[in-house]
Amino acid sequence: MEEEERAQIEAKNRRIAVGATVGGVLVVLFLLIVLIIQFVQIGVGAAESNRLDKEIEAYNQKIENEEGILDEYLTGDALYWRAIMQGWKKK
């Protein structure tokens, strides 16, 4: 009788150990998947940030190049010649 109880207890302990091991492996696997997803998101975010930085730099360069043209338009000379080119006549 005592042997049967001890065998049942050992079987129960084995089932608990197997269940705990499977649960632990599943938790570690889940955390690993979450970690991989986070690294991918960080990489995508860094690439997007780099792309936006390059785009901002391109727009800043374009603004610097166009400031001379803006000054011409503000003086009125460029507007006058543009109007002449469009067919306007001076009175």
pLDDT digits (tens, 9 = 90+) for 44-70: 999 999 999 999 999 888 888 776 677
Residue 84 pLDDT grade (very low, low, confident, very high; cuts 50, 70, 90)? confident
- % helix / strand / coil in the chain, to the nearest 5? 90, 0, 10
Distance CA 26, CA 31 (A): 9
Query: Of 82 and 91, which is predicted with more confidence?
Result: 82
